[in-house]
Structure 1
Amino acid sequence: MSNPVYGKKPGTSRNGENLPVALWVLMVGLILLLVWAPFQAGLFNGLVLNFEKPIFWAVMIGSLLLIAWVAAFFKKVKLKDQRDLTAIWVILIPVTYVLALISAASHYFAMNAVLIQCLYAMLFVIGLYLLQNKRANGLIETSIITIAYIIVLFGLFNWLGQGKTVSAMVGWFTETVINGQYNQAVWIDSNGPRLASVFQYPNTYAAFLMAFFFVAVFAITRSNKWYSQAIHGFMLVPMVLSILLTLSRGGLVFLPVVFIILLFFLKPAKQILWILYSVIAVVATLVIAKPVTDLGQQFHLGQIGDPAKGWGYLLGASIVVAALAWVIQRYLAPMLEQRTAGWAAKKLANLWLPLASVVAVVVLIVLLLGTNLKHVLPGNIGDRLENINLQQHSLLERLTFYKDAVKVIKDYPVIGAGGGAWASIYEKYQNNPYQSRQAHSFIMQYLVEVGVLGFIVLVAFLAFIFYKYIRGYIHSDETKRNDYFIYFIIVLSILIHSLMDFNMSYVFIGMLVFLGLGGMAAAMDTKPVKRFAWKSSGFRTLYSAVLVVGALVLIFTSIRYIQANNAIEKGRSLMATSSDFQEIQAPFADALKKRGNQPDAVLNYNVLLKAAYEQSQDEAFYTQDLKLLTDALKQDAYNKNMYNQLIALYQLKGEADKAYNVLRDNADRYTYDQDWYERLIVQSFELGYQALGSQAVDQKDKYFATGLQAYDHVVRGVEHLKNLPKGQFQGNPFAVTPAMALNAGKMQYMMNKPAEAAEIFKQGISQDLNDPTNREIARWYLAALQKTGSTDQAVYDQLIQLDPQEKDSITQLAELTF
């Protein structure tokens, strides 16, 4: 059945009634949210305090918009067709995140994720109904494209050295501008400068650019207005250049994949135009890529650059492409339509060029990777292409993330480990000591967070919308197809790239995707749902009431969380400026009332209470701090910072056994934390040695057994890391440290196992025996060998040469009995 939405008069709903005030309220509010959101680097997953507040503001704004939507569309929502079904289905997505709170690894992260998913659901519902109005759809579509182009130009201004100028223009509404410069708009890493624009992560920016490059090409071929064709044509070169400047291999790999998929949805004439515009844009970009890249690199590496020269190249190429776009659309496009009419009428006509494109892409890849053709690109871009292979570090690391994610999923199979779980628990499951708070795959991270149940809900939701959209697209005429195709482009591009990256962890990207899904659902047919009884106005009232109540709860929660964050920031400021305990304590206590066990509030309050106890030795401060930390760890059981503070508090009180218990009981949560295992081994020896002095043999054996088990864990880990695939980096250091070898060797020695002790001491021997720890290891090593009737003459001579009295020390140690 065709979609009756198309063809309605501008300014009318799908039922033909004028809703000018409601439409303008929703449109203006939604547009302002979309303009504000991309410049909030805080809209990134809610993993850090500084990133939280923009999320809560976005949720609150989205909730207000949802209430306005209910007021505007209450009588128009019939809940009787398949399109309406998706408005109910989408609510199940945040519900799965609420269910995941039951087993959440971090209640703090999980609650942030619930709010984020509610925001996505709200934008979907608003988009689903608002975008059915033709005029609203046009304005929202134009706004999204305009925002994208602003982001592209913002990035290039930063690349060419005018970052402070454009940062000043957005600094008044974002905290991401630091010292007059938008933070990390240009990354500097081992590859050199990489363009990231507002996203602070080049790979996600590449996914965004890929989506809107195809949107721009589509917009050129759809528009009948010369100035619109010229504007979209003008932006092609900046976007292709920006993709290159991200140095994103994933972007370059997925771009032809998405391009070929999109070609299948076009008739031959449009396919030819898409290929032609892409070729023109790429060629024009390659002509200017090297000088513009070099100018940006010079500036960001501290050398003198010439921004005007860079803009000259860029503007020149963009104007040429814009002019060509107008000429092609004015003269060539109509001719192609006529000449390919017969071809287009043939069965499967739209498959020929995409299949030919596959061959062309394969040939191009072979040429780029296997010949000197890659040298037409700027040096660092060519080098990145040259490094694309199955043994490349980033690919091997991603595969490791996915394997480790499967381990998590096996432990949390049904409802998952809660939102943000990967950031909390990946250290327990990691194969090697990498440091990544993202799983680098939307699919794997989603499975970790909400398990198989939540994943099925999402996949079924996406599959239904894609199926219905594509089915409707196939059976619609070209005019109807054009109205919602940009949403399909955006959603498809970002989701495909997200298979191997964490783009969806950016809340702004998630907002675009769910708003795009709403646009796709708006284009669905109106086939009625016959088997359900929700056609009555009663169910519509219930549905609307649920949304309003949910929105009010979200508004209240967001306000409370914003107040908590403000209180934490106030407390931090007072810690630096005030010495009044009560004055400093008040905002942290208030923050914890607003949001119980908020980790940043807990950790900062802990510093205050511990300092007060240390200065006054008042047990009340110790008791309060202990309760603060232990209560918080019940909600955030993998928070290493809290455990470290708890250990420090026990040690400050002289309760070494309790500190040991924390280290022992949580060691399995930090599989490759070298410092954790070193402290556990040292603490085990010290407590065991004390027990030995007290003749508490059972206690000594218990402590020594724990320490030696920890040492064996490190040894096994070191051996495992030797077998990592060639090309994969180990990550953080993980080795047998001198302190580990010294204390583990002592434990074996004091258990009357000198041979085993000697083997451990040997692992810690260093050529530099001037270091006291290294000298002590050598001393115990030689004593253990002497006890077994052997020696290491080279080490012995070196030690005696440094201090002849070491001979007596070795003999005394060798004569000890336990």
Structure 2
Amino acid sequence: MANPVYGKQFKASTEDEKRNGMFWVVNICLILFLLWTPFQIALFNGLGVSFEQPIFWAVMAAGVLLILGMIQFHKKIKLEDQRDMVALLIILLPISYMISMFSAASWHYAVNMVLIQWMYAFIFVIGVYMLRDRLSNKIIQITIMGSAYLIILFGFLNWFGQGILGGHLVSWFSVAVSNGVYVDAVMSDSNGWRLTSVFQYANTYAAFLMAILFAGLFNVSRLKRSYDHFIHGFMLVPIILSLILTLSRGGLVVLPFVLLILLLMLRPAQQILWVVYIVIAGIASAVILNPVTAIGLQVIAKYDGGVAAKGWAYLLVTSLIVGLIAVVIGRFIAPKLEHGVEGWTAKRFSSIWLPIGSAVVGGIILVLLIATNLRNLLPENIRVRFENINFQQSSVLERFTFYRDAMKLLRDYPFFGGGGGAWGAAFEAYQNNPYVSRQAHNFFVQYLVEVGVIGFIIFILFVGFIFYKYIRGYIKSEREKKESHFLYFILVVSILMHSLLDFNLSYVYMSILVFLGLGGMAAAMDAQPLKRLKLGAGTIRGIYVSLMGIAVIAVVFTALRFKEASADVMEVTTMANTPQATYEGLRKPLDDALSIRSTFPDAAVFLSSLLVQGYQQTKDDQFYNEDMTLLTKAHEKEPFNKDILKQMVTLYQVHGDTDQAFNLMVDNIPKYKWDISWYEGVISQAYILGNQAHEKKDTAAEQKYFQAGLTIYQQVLDGMQYLTTLPEGQLQGREFDVTPKIALSIGQIQLMQGKNADAAATLKRGLKDDLSDETNKQVARYYLAALQKEGQKDQAVYDKLIAVDAKEKEQIDQLAKTTY
């Protein structure tokens, strides 16, 4: 017997909206939003000011969408059931980010993230109310799948060397097009060429593809019309091929676990259909994998239209065959299958055997591909990736390092976190070795760092409650009700599961899909009635709409102003490289930007550079005082920003406050302990200032600076020694070694202290083959002079240096005779 409470609530959750003009306006606007965002929005925080403007546009668009939505479905806001409750509680997520601003590692990133979190809240509320309507639900599901299929085909345009065509198609609305092509739609790294489509990062594209693969399987197995079977069946091969061409090991590892979870939610007949379609599409993809891979690699290196057409023929013909097979299965086999397994379906635990069996078979296939010669059937670039799937591979060891380092950061910001973008702003101060990742490669770890334990608990409870209520209602409901919103469950589970291994939700578009999906799940969840408040429905509606309206207006206005500030900085960046650039012309947009965001890092650094030039040219302390006030204020809000600190050092130096500049550099070594260029700067200054003190016969100052330089040099050596203890499979990251500049400065210090042998050993560390470079030439010169002082020589280096410049012989002899 059906649960009466659930039946009543589900009826409410599928109540149709009034199909007036506003209904269509809201739906069309959301369609355009979902089509625009994947091509427009990249990573938030850390990619520079040029990537901020599209995000602010998206925030404003989401705010407008919510206003339109509130006009359309405001009568449903009664705070009568738990769906209304979660639509209200979603504001706790942006509020937790607002609280974290006050201890933020970067005020700029933190404020950006607050706006982004409000956007997600708006999208969630839209989903909660809008997706109760059956037609809206259908329209949005079609839009999600249609836009996903466009993204996949766009990826193949680039894989088959037709990036210019792809760039022209999207250049009118995408900021990611440069020189006529979409940047990094196919990216190259140490693993070779990897397909990324609009995401510019292969692992996130893999997470997206995994979600769309399961969504496609769901649609082809449940929809009744032949053209639905054909469309979704046709796209299975491009999805699977794209997933493989990303070379994402994480995607391949996570996929079986997500498949197991989703299969457990399906009826046995649907489970069988999923497995059948996966097998058919998988075999078809395997047949053309080698030629499609080879053709892609060939046309990327040198485009050939005929070869590219051949690649398209392989893809389209194979997809056509699979699409037609899907039509046959849907029309003739699926109905009989439903009837044939009725008896099995009625048995207890009938829905768990096939998922478990599929997981076992999938695991066996994966093991065979990893551990046996079966992998030799794969293209070389893909085979190498399979060979490297183990817990000692670099990417796995690096991720564990990220997580440990994130916990160090959390210890300093335990309760309310370090604010949005905390990891990207502060990771250098906590990193174990000099890796370059501005992402923690785990959404949950990164979220924990940003909002602290309290904010993280709020997030987990909120999402967990929606999952619990949705699954509870799903189990109780009939088939049609089960399937109405299951697509959103697929999207959310797939993306969140993969986000355990990567930073997918740092992509605004991926987070939009997740929060819209959560809204869709909430729209259909098992929603129990709430105790009625004494206030009437109209009063409650008025309070709720007023609060959300205030939030929308505040967020949209702020996003608009921030967009203007970013545009001002972009204007300066463009203008600075032109002959027409003037101090007044550059200053005005910077002042405008700083009047909106007083500690905007890019604007502050740019304006500081102008003020430094003004001071150098006029020696007017007004420039110095203004610059110092600007940088001090910016540094308070951006304590980990390296560019701001560098500007402060420069300002001190041009003002003659060299001791303050040096102390500032030394004091901030812990923030950049694996940045060898920072050590270069400090050690070079230690030599310069010590040498100046030596010339002034200030022995105390000389020893102070020289000793500081030697102490910092020892830190470099200790760091190099530590890096040798990293696990064998873990890459070091950025270079961390004795550079020619470091060797030259320390070698000179040691020579001035009479430590000739030590100087020779140090300078030898900095020797480079390219002696046309002035620093390298100086290192060789001082190295040979130090050896000569010890009665030794290095004939090979000497001959090479003399071959570059015969006058070096005199300089070496003169240095060798110099006494200090």
TM-score range, shorter chain: over 0.9
Q: Per-residue displacement from partner, 1:188-234 (whole Å, max 9, x unpaired)?
A: 23333211111111111111111011101100111111111111111
Instruction: Letter of the 2:224 partner, please give it.
Output: N
Find the aligned partners of 1:607 and 1:729 in 2 and give their Cα distance.
Answer: 36
Q: Distance in 2 between matches of 1:255 and 1:383?
A: 19
Q: Is the 8 A contact 2:10 2:526 kept in 1?
A: no
Which sits farther off after the overlay, 628-637 or 150-159? 628-637
Asked if structure 2 preserves the Cα contact closer than 8 Å seen for 1:194 and 1:247, the reply is: yes
Contact map agreement 1:688 1:703 (CA 8 A) in 2: yes
Report the Cα distance in structure 1 between the residues aligned to 2:171 and 2:330, rounded to whole angstroms.
39
Structure 2 residue identity aligned to 1:771 = K
1:776-795 alignment runs, 5 A limit: 776-777=782-783, 779-780=785-786, 793=792
Q: Which residue of structure 2 lines up, in the alignment, with residue 633 of structure 1?
A: 635
Are 1:287 and 2:293 matched, yes or no? no
Amino acid at match of 2:386: L
Does the 8 A contact of 1:59 with 1:555 survive in 2? yes
Q: Partners of 2:191 and 2:301 in 1: how far apart?
A: 12
What SS class does the counterpart of residue 2 from structure 1 fall into?
Answer: helix
591-600 vs 734-743, which moves further: 734-743
Identify the residue that residue 772 of structure 1 maps to in structure 2: 778
Matched, 1:261 2:265: no
Residue identity matched to 2:184: Q
Q: TM-score, normalised by structure 1?
A: 0.92
Indicate conservation of the 8 Å contact 1:765/1:778, yes or no: no
2:6 is aligned to: 2
Listed as ranges, the gaps of 5+ residues in structure 2 are 803-807
CA RMSD of aligned residues (A): 2.7
Distance 1:250 1:315 in 2: 27
Q: 2:413 is aligned with what amino acid?
A: Y
Q: Once structures 1 and 2 are overlaid, which stretch shifts more, 120-129 or 416-425?
A: 416-425
- Relative to structure 1, the CA distance from residue 244 to residue 799 in structure 2 (aligned partners, 3 Å threshold; closer, same or farther) is closer
Aligned-partner Cα distance in 2 for 1:528–1:370? 54
Equivalence map 1:442-457=2 (5 Å): 442-457=443-458
Q: Aligned in 2, Cα 1:168/1:700: closer, same or farther, shift over 3 Å? A: same
Determine the C-alpha separation between the residues in 1 that align with 2:233 and 2:532: 49
- 1:682–1:743 Cα contact (<8 Å) kept: yes
Alpha-carbon distance in 1 for matches of 2:716, 2:60: 48
- Aligned-partner Cα distance in 2 for 1:643–1:624: 16
Which amino acid in 1 is paired with 2:550? V
Equivalent in the alignment of 1:312: 313
Alignment match, 2:467:
466
Go from structure 1 to structure 2 and tell me whether the alpha carbon gap of 1:614 and 1:144 turns closer, same or farther (over 3 Å shift). Answer: same
Q: 1: distance between equivalents of 2:75 and 2:430?
A: 51
Between the aligned residues of both structures, percent identity stands at 46
Give the deviation of 1:5 after TM superposition. 6.0
Do the aligned residues in 2 keep the contact of 1:779 with 1:806 (CA within 8 Å)? yes
Q: Which SS does the other structure have where 2:75 is aligned?
A: coil
Query: Alpha-carbon deviation of 1:689?
Result: 3.9
1:787 is aligned to none
Q: Does the 8 A contact of 1:401 with 1:430 survive in 2?
A: yes
Q: Deviations over 1:601-654 (max 9, x none)?
A: 223323333333334444333333333323222211111122222323333333
**Counterpart position of 1:541:** 542
Q: Which amino acid aligns with 1:220?
A: V
1:714 to 675, 691, 716: 716
1:647-674 Cα offsets, whole Å, 9 max, x none, are: 2333333332232122112111101111
Is the 2:565–2:592 contact (alpha carbons within 8 Å) kept by the matching residues of 1? yes
Match of 1:583 in 2: 585
Q: Which amino acid aligns with 1:504?
A: L
The SS at the match of 2:500 is: helix
Q: Which amino acid aligns with 2:657?
A: E
Q: After superposition, where does 1:583-622 map in structure 2 within 5 Å?
A: 583-622=585-624
Deviation of 1:87 after TM superposition, in Å, equals 1.2
Structure 1 counterpart of 2:590, one-letter code: F
AA in 2 matched with 1:370: A
How far apart are residue 346 of structure 1 and its match?
1.2
Q: CA 1:480 to 1:809, structure 2 compared with 1: closer, same or farther past 3 Å?
A: closer
Amino acid at match of 1:365: L
Counterpart Cα distance in 2 of 1:286 and 1:180: 33
Alpha-carbon spacing, 1:743–1:579, altered in 2? closer, same or farther (3 Å): closer
**Structure-1 residue corresponding to 2:477:** 476
Does the C-alpha gap of structure 1 residues 705 and 356 become closer, same or farther in structure 2, counting only changes over 3 Å? same
My pick for the range that moved more, 296-305 or 123-132, is 296-305
Relative to structure 2, which stretch is displaced further, 524-533 or 387-396?
524-533
User: Residue 99 of structure 1: CA displacement?
Assistant: 0.9
Per-residue deviation, 1:778: 5.2
1:43/1:54 contact within 8 Å kept: no
Deviations 1:505-552 (A, max 9, x none): 110000000000000111112312349778765444322211100100
Q: How far, CA to CA, are the matches of 1:38 and 1:754 in structure 2?
A: 61
User: How far is the alpha carbon of 1:181 from its aligned partner?
Assistant: 1.3
**1:766-793 residue CA offsets vs partner (Å, 9 max, x unmatched):** 899993223324545776xxxxxxx574
For 1:667, give the aligned amino acid: I
Aligned to 1:788: none
Q: Distance in 2 between matches of 1:155 and 1:738?
A: 43
Structure 1 residue 385: Cα displacement: 1.1
1:299-341: per-residue Cα shift (whole Å, max 9, x none)?
1112535222112111111111111111111221122212211
Q: Secondary structure at the match of 1:432?
A: coil
Give the drift of 1:290. 1.4
For residues 780 and 499 of structure 1, do their structure 2 counterparts lie closer, same or farther at Cα, with a shift above 3 Å needed? Answer: same
Distance change in 2, residues 1:356/1:767 (3 Å): closer
5 Å-filtered alignment, 1:87-236, equals 87-236=87-236
**Greater CA deviation, 236-245 or 769-778?**
769-778
Q: Is the contact between residue 43 and residue 55 of structure 1 (CA under 8 Å) also seen in structure 2?
A: no
Which residue of structure 2 aligns with residue 354 of structure 1? 355
Q: CA deviation at 1:577?
A: 3.9
* Alpha-carbon distance change, 469 to 326 in structure 1, aligned in 2, over 3 angstroms: same
Conserved 8 A contact 1:610-1:622: yes
* Mapping 1:326-475, distance limit 5 Å: 326-475=327-476
Aligned to 2:805: none
8 Å Cα contact 1:79-1:535 kept in structure 2: no
Contact 1:192 1:297 in 2 (8 A): no
Amino acid at match of 2:91: I
Q: Could you list the per-position Cα deviations for residues 123-142 of structure 1 after superposition, in whole angstroms to 9, with x for gaps in the alignment?
A: 00110011111111111111
Counterpart secondary structure, 2:70: helix
Alpha-carbon distance in structure 1 between the residues aligned to 2:17 and 2:764: 85
Conserved? CA contact 1:768–1:774, under 8 Å: no
CA deviation map 1:654-704 (0-9, x unaligned) = 332232122112111101111111221221233234445556555445434
Deviation per CA, 1:328-371, whole angstroms, max 9, x where unpaired?
A: 11221122212211111111111111111122122111211122
Report the CA distance shift for 1:781/1:112 in structure 2 as closer, same or farther (over 3 A).
farther
User: Within 1, Cα distance between the matches of 2:500 and 2:163?
Assistant: 32
Cα distance in 2, alignment partners of residues 145 and 696 from structure 1: 74
Cα offset for 1:113?
A: 0.7
Distance 1:766 1:57 in 2: 49
1:37 equivalent in structure 2: 37
Question: Equivalent residue for 2:521?
Answer: 520
State the match for 2:52 in structure 1: 52
Change (3 A) 1:355 1:700: same
Pair 169,743 (structure 1): closer, same or farther in 2 beyond 3 Å: closer
- Using the TM superposition, name which of 730-739 and 541-550 deviates more: 730-739
Residue 510 of structure 1 is matched in structure 2 by 511
CA distance in 1: counterparts of 2:708 and 2:300, whole angstroms: 51
Q: Tell me whether 1:75 sits opposite 2:75 in the alignment.
A: yes
Query: In the alignment, is the contact (CA less than 8 A) between 2:760 and 2:784 conserved in 1?
Result: no
Change in Cα spacing, 1:792 to 1:331, as seen in structure 2 (3 Å) is farther
Q: Does 1:729 align with 2:735?
A: no
8 Å CA contact 1:163–1:182 kept in 2: the answer is: yes
Q: CA, structure 1 residues 603+134, in 2 after alignment: closer, same or farther (shift >3 Å)?
A: same
Per-residue deviation, 1:43: 5.4
Q: Give the 3-state SS of the residue equivalent to 1:235 in structure 2.
A: helix
**CA 1:17–1:70 in 2, change beyond 3 Å: closer, same or farther?**
closer
AA of the residue aligned to 1:681: I
Paired amino acid for 2:214: F
